[in-house]
Structure 1
Amino acid sequence: MKITLNRINDDYLFECTNAAGNKILLDNTSEPDAKGVSPMEGVLMAVAGCSGIDIVSILKKQRQIIEDFSAQVEGERVQVDDAKPFKNIIVRFFLTGNIDPKKALKAAELSFEKYCSVSKTLEPNVTVSYEVFVNNEKA
Protein backbone atom coordinates (compact mmCIF):
# COMPACT_ATOMS: atom_id res chain seq x y z
CA MET A 1 0.00 0.00 0.00
CA LYS A 2 1.33 3.40 -0.94
CA ILE A 3 0.03 6.98 -1.00
CA THR A 4 1.58 10.19 -2.21
CA LEU A 5 1.25 13.55 -0.50
CA ASN A 6 1.68 16.84 -2.37
CA ARG A 7 1.53 20.35 -0.95
CA ILE A 8 -0.95 22.32 -3.06
CA ASN A 9 -0.83 25.82 -1.62
CA ASP A 10 1.63 28.09 0.18
CA ASP A 11 0.43 26.98 3.61
CA TYR A 12 -0.63 23.58 4.97
CA LEU A 13 -3.02 22.14 2.37
CA PHE A 14 -1.94 18.71 1.16
CA GLU A 15 -3.51 16.40 -1.41
CA CYS A 16 -3.10 12.70 -0.63
CA THR A 17 -3.55 10.26 -3.50
CA ASN A 18 -3.75 6.48 -3.41
CA ALA A 19 -2.61 4.06 -6.12
CA ALA A 20 -6.06 4.16 -7.77
CA GLY A 21 -5.95 7.96 -8.03
CA ASN A 22 -8.50 8.67 -5.28
CA LYS A 23 -7.77 11.79 -3.26
CA ILE A 24 -8.39 13.44 0.08
CA LEU A 25 -7.32 16.85 1.33
CA LEU A 26 -5.47 17.33 4.61
CA ASP A 27 -5.02 20.75 6.16
CA ASN A 28 -4.16 22.57 9.36
CA THR A 29 -7.67 23.04 10.71
CA SER A 30 -6.49 25.62 13.25
CA GLU A 31 -6.26 28.00 10.29
CA PRO A 32 -9.52 29.89 9.57
CA ASP A 33 -9.67 29.00 5.86
CA ALA A 34 -8.80 25.29 6.10
CA LYS A 35 -9.90 23.36 3.01
CA GLY A 36 -9.28 19.80 4.25
CA VAL A 37 -9.54 17.65 7.32
CA SER A 38 -6.87 17.51 9.97
CA PRO A 39 -4.71 14.39 10.10
CA MET A 40 -6.26 13.50 13.48
CA GLU A 41 -9.77 13.87 12.02
CA GLY A 42 -8.56 11.57 9.26
CA VAL A 43 -7.71 8.94 11.86
CA LEU A 44 -11.24 9.10 13.26
CA MET A 45 -12.66 8.89 9.73
CA ALA A 46 -10.48 5.86 9.05
CA VAL A 47 -11.75 4.06 12.16
CA ALA A 48 -15.37 4.74 11.16
CA GLY A 49 -14.81 3.75 7.54
CA CYS A 50 -12.91 0.56 8.29
CA SER A 51 -15.41 -0.71 10.84
CA GLY A 52 -18.35 0.50 8.73
CA ILE A 53 -17.16 -1.57 5.77
CA ASP A 54 -16.84 -4.60 8.05
CA ILE A 55 -20.29 -4.18 9.59
CA VAL A 56 -22.06 -3.66 6.27
CA SER A 57 -20.25 -6.65 4.76
CA ILE A 58 -21.17 -8.94 7.66
CA LEU A 59 -24.81 -7.85 7.73
CA LYS A 60 -25.18 -8.18 3.94
CA LYS A 61 -23.91 -11.78 4.18
CA GLN A 62 -26.59 -12.37 6.81
CA ARG A 63 -29.22 -10.94 4.45
CA GLN A 64 -30.04 -8.03 6.74
CA ILE A 65 -31.71 -5.13 4.93
CA ILE A 66 -29.80 -1.90 5.64
CA GLU A 67 -31.79 1.16 4.57
CA ASP A 68 -29.48 3.69 6.19
CA PHE A 69 -26.09 3.52 7.91
CA SER A 70 -24.14 6.28 9.63
CA ALA A 71 -21.59 6.69 12.38
CA GLN A 72 -20.39 9.38 14.74
CA VAL A 73 -16.88 9.17 16.13
CA GLU A 74 -15.41 11.08 19.06
CA GLY A 75 -11.80 11.02 20.11
CA GLU A 76 -10.36 12.10 23.45
CA ARG A 77 -6.80 13.35 23.24
CA VAL A 78 -4.14 13.69 25.94
CA GLN A 79 -0.98 15.76 26.15
CA VAL A 80 2.18 13.64 25.79
CA ASP A 81 5.23 15.89 25.64
CA ASP A 82 4.57 18.12 22.62
CA ALA A 83 2.01 15.80 20.97
CA LYS A 84 -1.69 15.17 21.66
CA PRO A 85 -2.43 11.55 20.69
CA PHE A 86 -5.79 9.89 21.13
CA LYS A 87 -6.41 8.14 24.44
CA ASN A 88 -9.99 7.00 23.80
CA ILE A 89 -12.17 6.75 20.71
CA ILE A 90 -15.87 5.91 20.73
CA VAL A 91 -17.78 5.03 17.58
CA ARG A 92 -21.58 5.15 17.53
CA PHE A 93 -23.28 3.37 14.66
CA PHE A 94 -26.82 4.19 13.56
CA LEU A 95 -28.59 1.66 11.34
CA THR A 96 -32.13 1.56 10.05
CA GLY A 97 -33.89 -1.19 8.19
CA ASN A 98 -34.96 -4.78 8.67
CA ILE A 99 -31.98 -5.59 10.88
CA ASP A 100 -31.73 -7.93 13.87
CA PRO A 101 -30.14 -5.77 16.62
CA LYS A 102 -28.22 -8.76 17.99
CA LYS A 103 -26.68 -9.38 14.56
CA ALA A 104 -25.73 -5.71 14.23
CA LEU A 105 -24.07 -5.71 17.65
CA LYS A 106 -22.23 -8.96 16.85
CA ALA A 107 -21.05 -7.49 13.52
CA ALA A 108 -19.58 -4.49 15.36
CA GLU A 109 -17.94 -6.79 17.90
CA LEU A 110 -16.37 -8.86 15.12
CA SER A 111 -15.14 -5.73 13.38
CA PHE A 112 -13.38 -4.28 16.39
CA GLU A 113 -12.11 -7.55 17.86
CA LYS A 114 -11.07 -9.29 14.65
CA TYR A 115 -11.26 -7.44 11.34
CA CYS A 116 -10.76 -3.66 11.55
CA SER A 117 -7.10 -3.07 10.71
CA VAL A 118 -7.32 0.62 11.62
CA SER A 119 -8.49 0.05 15.20
CA LYS A 120 -6.03 -2.85 15.53
CA THR A 121 -3.24 -0.49 14.46
CA LEU A 122 -4.19 1.88 17.29
CA GLU A 123 -4.06 -0.86 19.95
CA PRO A 124 -2.84 -0.97 22.69
CA ASN A 125 -2.27 2.79 22.95
CA VAL A 126 -5.87 3.81 22.28
CA THR A 127 -9.04 2.38 23.78
CA VAL A 128 -11.61 2.05 20.98
CA SER A 129 -15.19 1.38 22.06
CA TYR A 130 -18.49 1.33 20.20
CA GLU A 131 -22.26 1.50 20.52
CA VAL A 132 -24.83 0.29 18.01
CA PHE A 133 -28.30 1.71 17.51
CA VAL A 134 -30.81 -0.07 15.28
CA ASN A 135 -33.99 1.77 14.35
CA ASN A 136 -33.30 4.32 17.11
CA GLU A 137 -32.91 1.65 19.82
CA LYS A 138 -29.60 0.77 21.46
CA ALA A 139 -28.64 -2.79 20.55
Structure 2
Amino acid sequence: MSQVNVTWEGNMKFVGADNNGFKVPMDASDIYGGKNEGTRPMDLMLMSLGGCTGIEVGHILNKMRVAYERLDVEVNGNRVKEHPMVFSDIQMIYRLSGESIPIEKVTKAIQMAEQVYCSAANMMNKVAEITCSIEINGTAYKYEPISPTK
Protein backbone atom coordinates (compact mmCIF):
# COMPACT_ATOMS: atom_id res chain seq x y z
CA MET A 1 0.00 0.00 0.00
CA SER A 2 1.22 3.50 -0.81
CA GLN A 3 1.00 6.14 1.87
CA VAL A 4 1.88 9.81 1.96
CA ASN A 5 1.29 12.41 4.64
CA VAL A 6 0.22 15.97 3.90
CA THR A 7 0.86 18.55 6.62
CA TRP A 8 -0.56 22.05 6.83
CA GLU A 9 2.16 24.66 7.33
CA GLY A 10 -0.03 27.72 7.66
CA ASN A 11 -2.14 29.84 5.36
CA MET A 12 -2.78 27.64 2.27
CA LYS A 13 0.60 25.87 2.25
CA PHE A 14 0.81 22.11 2.68
CA VAL A 15 3.83 19.82 2.44
CA GLY A 16 3.43 16.26 1.22
CA ALA A 17 5.93 13.63 2.35
CA ASP A 18 6.32 10.04 1.24
CA ASN A 19 7.56 7.11 3.32
CA ASN A 20 11.13 7.75 2.12
CA GLY A 21 11.11 11.29 3.48
CA PHE A 22 10.91 13.11 0.14
CA LYS A 23 8.89 16.30 0.50
CA VAL A 24 6.86 18.38 -1.94
CA PRO A 25 5.55 21.83 -0.97
CA MET A 26 2.09 22.74 -2.29
CA ASP A 27 0.24 26.03 -2.19
CA ALA A 28 -2.98 27.49 -3.52
CA SER A 29 -3.20 30.31 -6.03
CA ASP A 30 -3.51 33.85 -4.72
CA ILE A 31 -7.28 33.92 -5.30
CA TYR A 32 -7.52 31.25 -2.58
CA GLY A 33 -5.07 33.08 -0.33
CA GLY A 34 -1.93 31.20 -1.39
CA LYS A 35 1.47 32.87 -1.33
CA ASN A 36 3.18 30.99 -4.17
CA GLU A 37 5.18 28.83 -1.77
CA GLY A 38 4.68 25.55 -3.60
CA THR A 39 3.41 23.74 -6.62
CA ARG A 40 -0.31 23.64 -7.30
CA PRO A 41 -1.76 20.16 -6.64
CA MET A 42 -3.18 19.86 -10.17
CA ASP A 43 0.25 20.67 -11.62
CA LEU A 44 1.64 17.85 -9.47
CA MET A 45 -0.80 15.50 -11.17
CA LEU A 46 0.66 16.46 -14.56
CA MET A 47 4.18 16.05 -13.15
CA SER A 48 3.21 12.60 -11.86
CA LEU A 49 1.95 11.63 -15.29
CA GLY A 50 5.13 12.87 -16.98
CA GLY A 51 7.33 11.21 -14.38
CA CYS A 52 5.48 7.90 -14.50
CA THR A 53 5.49 7.64 -18.29
CA GLY A 54 9.04 8.99 -18.49
CA ILE A 55 10.31 6.32 -16.09
CA GLU A 56 8.49 3.59 -18.00
CA VAL A 57 9.60 4.82 -21.43
CA GLY A 58 13.20 5.08 -20.23
CA HIS A 59 13.07 1.59 -18.71
CA ILE A 60 11.58 0.07 -21.85
CA LEU A 61 14.09 1.81 -24.13
CA ASN A 62 16.91 0.53 -21.91
CA LYS A 63 15.56 -3.01 -22.27
CA MET A 64 15.39 -2.47 -26.05
CA ARG A 65 19.04 -1.36 -25.91
CA VAL A 66 18.18 2.08 -27.29
CA ALA A 67 20.76 4.58 -26.07
CA TYR A 68 19.66 8.16 -25.46
CA GLU A 69 21.36 11.19 -23.97
CA ARG A 70 18.22 13.10 -23.05
CA LEU A 71 14.63 12.16 -22.35
CA ASP A 72 12.24 14.97 -21.36
CA VAL A 73 8.47 14.92 -21.12
CA GLU A 74 6.45 18.12 -21.49
CA VAL A 75 2.89 17.78 -20.23
CA ASN A 76 0.14 20.33 -20.93
CA GLY A 77 -3.36 19.98 -19.53
CA ASN A 78 -6.62 21.81 -20.21
CA ARG A 79 -9.25 21.87 -17.49
CA VAL A 80 -13.01 22.19 -17.70
CA LYS A 81 -14.47 25.52 -16.56
CA GLU A 82 -16.92 24.17 -13.97
CA HIS A 83 -16.19 22.52 -10.62
CA PRO A 84 -14.76 20.02 -10.22
CA MET A 85 -12.27 21.48 -12.69
CA VAL A 86 -10.78 18.19 -13.89
CA PHE A 87 -8.49 17.88 -16.90
CA SER A 88 -10.45 17.43 -20.11
CA ASP A 89 -7.43 16.79 -22.32
CA ILE A 90 -3.71 16.37 -21.81
CA GLN A 91 -0.98 16.70 -24.42
CA MET A 92 2.39 15.06 -23.87
CA ILE A 93 5.57 15.71 -25.84
CA TYR A 94 8.40 13.20 -25.48
CA ARG A 95 11.75 14.78 -26.41
CA LEU A 96 14.77 12.58 -26.90
CA SER A 97 18.26 13.19 -28.14
CA GLY A 98 21.09 10.88 -29.01
CA GLU A 99 22.54 8.98 -31.93
CA SER A 100 20.48 6.50 -33.94
CA ILE A 101 17.24 6.58 -31.96
CA PRO A 102 14.68 4.58 -33.95
CA ILE A 103 11.22 6.19 -33.99
CA GLU A 104 9.58 2.75 -34.12
CA LYS A 105 11.12 1.71 -30.81
CA VAL A 106 10.27 5.02 -29.17
CA THR A 107 6.69 4.69 -30.38
CA LYS A 108 6.46 1.15 -29.01
CA ALA A 109 7.97 2.22 -25.68
CA ILE A 110 5.47 5.08 -25.31
CA GLN A 111 2.57 2.84 -26.25
CA MET A 112 3.60 0.20 -23.70
CA ALA A 113 4.17 2.82 -21.02
CA GLU A 114 0.88 4.65 -21.52
CA GLN A 115 -1.36 1.64 -22.17
CA VAL A 116 0.13 -0.99 -19.88
CA TYR A 117 2.75 -0.01 -17.34
CA CYS A 118 2.14 3.58 -16.21
CA SER A 119 -0.53 3.57 -13.51
CA ALA A 120 -0.89 7.36 -13.67
CA ALA A 121 -1.67 7.31 -17.41
CA ASN A 122 -4.12 4.45 -17.02
CA MET A 123 -5.91 6.30 -14.23
CA MET A 124 -5.92 9.76 -15.84
CA ASN A 125 -7.08 8.56 -19.26
CA LYS A 126 -10.37 7.56 -17.63
CA VAL A 127 -11.10 11.29 -17.19
CA ALA A 128 -9.05 13.09 -19.83
CA GLU A 129 -8.06 12.38 -23.41
CA ILE A 130 -4.28 11.95 -23.51
CA THR A 131 -2.48 12.62 -26.78
CA CYS A 132 1.20 12.72 -27.44
CA SER A 133 3.90 13.57 -29.91
CA ILE A 134 7.58 12.75 -30.22
CA GLU A 135 10.65 14.85 -30.97
CA ILE A 136 13.96 13.14 -31.65
CA ASN A 137 16.99 15.40 -32.02
CA GLY A 138 14.68 18.33 -32.74
CA THR A 139 12.64 16.58 -35.45
CA ALA A 140 8.91 16.24 -34.68
CA TYR A 141 7.12 12.96 -35.34
CA LYS A 142 3.44 12.21 -35.12
CA TYR A 143 2.73 9.57 -32.53
CA GLU A 144 0.92 6.73 -34.22
CA PRO A 145 0.39 3.78 -31.87
CA ILE A 146 1.38 0.44 -33.30
CA SER A 147 -1.55 -1.82 -34.02
CA PRO A 148 -1.76 -4.82 -31.65
CA THR A 149 -1.74 -7.10 -34.72
CA LYS A 150 1.74 -5.90 -35.77
TM over 0.5: yes
Residue 55 of structure 2 aligns with which residue?
Answer: 53
Structure with greater strand share of residues: 1
Is the Cα contact below 8 Å between 1:46 and 1:118 reproduced in 2? yes
Contact 2:92 2:131 in 1 (8 A): yes
Deviation at 1:131, TM superposition (A): 0.9
How many pairs were matched up?
A: 137
Could you tell which deviates more after superposition, 42-51 or 100-109?
100-109
Residue identity matched to 1:97: G
- Note the 1:1-139 alignment, pairs <5 A: 1-8=2-9, 10-30=10-30, 33-80=35-82, 82-98=83-99, 99-139=101-141
Q: Contact between 2:6 and 2:17, CA under 8 Å: does it hold in 1?
A: yes
Please state how far the C-alpha of 1:133 moved relative to its aligned partner: 1.0
Alpha-carbon distance between aligned partners in 2 of 1:120 and 1:68, rounded to the nearest angstrom = 25
Structure 1 gap ranges (5+): none
Amino acid at match of 1:128: I
Q: Deviations over 1:13-66 (max 9, x none)?
A: 111000111111111133573111101000100110000000000111111111
Q: 3-state DSSP class of the match of 2:98?
A: strand
State the alpha-carbon separation in 1 of the partners of residues 4 and 112 from structure 2: 28
The percent identity for this pair of structures is: 25
Kindly indicate whether the alpha-carbon contact (under 8 Å) linking 1:108 and 1:132 is maintained by their aligned counterparts in 2.
no
The question of whether the paired residues in 2 share the 8 Å contact of 1:29 and 1:36 is answered with no
Evaluate the alpha carbon distance shift between residue 32 and residue 7 of structure 1 in structure 2; reply closer, same or farther with a 3 A threshold: closer
Structure 1: 4+ residue segments shifted above 6 A: none
The amino acid of 1:29's aligned partner reads S
Extract unaligned runs of 5+ from structure 2: 142-150
Query: Shift of residue 69 of structure 1?
Result: 1.3
Residue in structure 1 matched with residue 147 of structure 2 by the alignment: none
> Per-residue CA shift, 1:80-132, capped at 9, x if unaligned?
3x321100001101000122121111111111111110011123221111111
* Kept in 2: contact 1:94–1:133 (CA 8 A): yes
Distance apart, 1:73 and its partner CA: 0.8
In structure 1, C-alpha distance between the alignment counterparts of 2:122 and 2:29, rounded to whole Å: 26
Task: Give me the CA root mean square deviation.
Answer: 1.4
